[in-house]
Amino acid sequence: MRPTLEQLMQTVHCVKFPARWAEIYDNVMENFEQNGCPLTDPAYYDDLQERYHAFPQYLEVYKQAATAVAKSESLARVLALLVASLSDPDHAWGDAKAFSAPKTADGKPDLATDMLTGLAICCQIPYQHKLLTGWGLPEDVILRSVQVLEKGVSEYAKRHGGAPGYHLLEWFQRNIFGHLYRIHRLEIEIFANFSGRAKIFRNSKGEHVALAHDIVLHQSGRALGCKNCEDEARSWLADVRENDTVWVGYPYDDQGLVKPTTVTLSKKEWQLVLEYGDPIVSLHIPADGRLDATAVDETLAMTKEFLKTYFPHYAYKGFYCGSWLLDPQLATLLGPDSNIARFGKRFAPLTYKSDGNAVFGFVFLKPDPKEVDITTLPENTRLERALKAHYLAGQCIYEVKGYFF
Ligand SMILES: CC(C)(COP(=O)(O)OP(=O)(O)OC[C@H]1O[C@@H](n2cnc3c(N)ncnc32)[C@H](O)[C@@H]1OP(=O)(O)O)[C@@H](O)C(=O)NCCC(=O)NCCS
Is residue 251, in this structure, part of any structural domain at all? yes
CA of 400 to the centre of ligand 1 (A): 17
**Residues of the chain under the 50 pLDDT cut:** none
Contact 287, 278 (CB under 8 A): no
Q: Are residues 222 and 321 in the same domain?
A: no
Q: Are residues 333 and 379 in the same domain?
A: yes
Q: Which of 128, 148, 178 is the last residue of a domain?
A: 178
Measuring from atom 27 of ligand 1, which residue has the nearest CA?
383
Q: Are residues 312 and 399 in the same domain?
A: yes
Is residue 184, in this structure, part of any structural domain at all? no
Note down the domain range covering 384.
278-404
Q: Are residues 44 and 161 in the same domain?
A: yes
Q: Which of 275, 308, 334 is the last residue of a domain?
A: 275
Query: Which atom of ligand 1 has the smallest separation from the CA of 339?
Result: 12
Q: Are residues 101 and 166 in the same domain?
A: yes
Sign of the Cα torsion 37, 38, 39, 41 reads: positive
Q: Can you tell me the distance from the alpha carbon of 103 to that of 118, in angstroms, rounded to the nearest whole number?
A: 14
Is residue 23, in this structure, part of any structural domain at all? yes
Bridge partners (DSSP) of residue 279 are: 193
Query: Which atom of ligand 1 has the smallest separation from the CA of 362?
Result: 44
Q: Are residues 284 and 251 in the same domain?
A: no
Is residue 188, in this structure, part of any structural domain at all? no
Measuring from atom 42 of ligand 1, which residue has the nearest CA?
287
Q: Are residues 265 and 299 in the same domain?
A: no
Contact 286, 361 (CB under 8 A): no
CA of 340 to the centre of ligand 1 (A): 7
Is residue 109, in this structure, part of any structural domain at all? yes
φ, ψ of residue 201 in degrees (nearest 5): -120, 150
**Beta pairing class for 279-284 and 263-266:** unpaired
pLDDT tens by residue, 134-152:
999 999 999 999 999 999 9
Name the amino acid, one letter, at 271. Answer: Q
**Whole-angstrom Cα Rg for the chain:** 23
Angle (nearest 5°) at CA 100 between 94 and 101? 120
CA of 363 to the centre of ligand 1 (A): 7
CB neighbours of residue 265 within 10 Å: 22
Angle (nearest 5°) at CA 137 between 154 and 150? 10
Number of domains present in the structure of the chain? 3
Contact 345, 335 (CB under 8 A): no
Q: Are residues 289 and 333 in the same domain?
A: yes
pLDDT of residue 1: 87
Contact 293, 339 (CB under 8 A): yes
Bridge partners (DSSP) of residue 385 are: none
Q: Are residues 154 and 26 in the same domain?
A: yes
Q: Which residues line ligand 1 (CB under 6 A)?
A: 285, 287, 290-291, 323-325, 334, 338-340, 362-363, 381-384
Q: How many CA atoms lie within 13 A of 163 on its CB side?
A: 13
Bridge partners (DSSP) of residue 31 are: none
Q: Which of 275, 295, 310 is the last residue of a domain?
A: 275
- The residue among 327, 318, 319 whose CA lies nearest residue 350 is 327
Q: Can you tell me the distance from the alpha carbon of 327 to that of 331, in angstroms, rounded to the nearest whole number?
A: 8
Is residue 77, in this structure, part of any structural domain at all? yes
Name the amino acid, one letter, at 50. Answer: E
CA of 290 to the centre of ligand 1 (A): 7
CA of 372 to the centre of ligand 1 (A): 19
Q: Are residues 349 and 217 in the same domain?
A: no
Contact 178, 131 (CB under 8 A): yes
pLDDT of residue 398: 98
Q: Can you tell me the distance from the alpha carbon of 211 to that of 274, in angstroms, rounded to the nearest whole number?
A: 11
Q: Can you tell me the distance from the alpha carbon of 322 to that of 236, in angstroms, rounded to the nearest whole number?
A: 23
Q: Are residues 215 and 146 in the same domain?
A: no
pLDDT of residue 367: 82
CATH number at residue 353: 3.40.630.120
Q: Are residues 283 and 269 in the same domain?
A: no
Top mutation candidate among 284, 377, 381 for ligand 1, by most atoms within 8 Å of CB: 381
Report the chain's terminal Cα–Cα distance, integer Å: 59
Q: Any idea what DSSP says for residue 241?
A: E
CA of 383 to the centre of ligand 1 (A): 7
Is residue 243, in this structure, part of any structural domain at all? yes
Is residue 118, in this structure, part of any structural domain at all? yes
